[in-house]
Amino acid sequence: MLQYDFKSDPRLLLDLARERLQRQLSFADSLDSKIAMLFAVGSALVGLLAAIFSLQPEEFGRAAIVIVSICLLAYALVTIVAAVANWPQLWRIGVSIDWAWDRSQEVGEEVLLPELISGYMDYWRKNSASNRKKARLLRAVFVAILVETLCLVAAVAVVSG
């Protein structure tokens, strides 16, 4: 295990805290992108379902109604979850440069560096709950997309069969 005296030189810890927060924010961006991509896939699946059933417009029996209803419910879930996951929220991105400058004029580095480290770690902790929520929502969207896909397969079976 690495032995490093952070008390004598806290700059490394500051770099680690800053990098950790940056990686966390990048992870949140990647979750947003994945959810948006799955929303687009869900929209395309609903369009394909409509196209499949348009091949047999005169016959729209009970099986077709059930399939369309399940697919639309799954798509509604995708839409709602994607909106919740991507709703604007406050992300703590780091200490204010103005605050850091003003504080550096008041105190020495031995006081400022621990305050900066503490600030970055506090922001990381506060953002963690939002990232966990986004990850759970991504899983819910993925399950709904699987349901939509199964509905598409069932629609092909009903129309062809």
The structure's pTM equals 0.78
Q: How far is C-alpha 138 from the geometric centre of its chain's CA atoms? A: 6
Return the pLDDT at 2: 62
Domain ranges of the chain: 32-160
> Residue 144 has which token pair?
């709904």
Return the pLDDT at 1: 58
Question: Which of 130, 129, 134, 128 minimizes the C-alpha distance to 20?
Answer: 128
Question: Which of 126, 137, 122 minimizes the C-alpha distance to 81?
Answer: 137
- pLDDT higher than 90, residue 71: yes
CA distance 138 to 34: 8
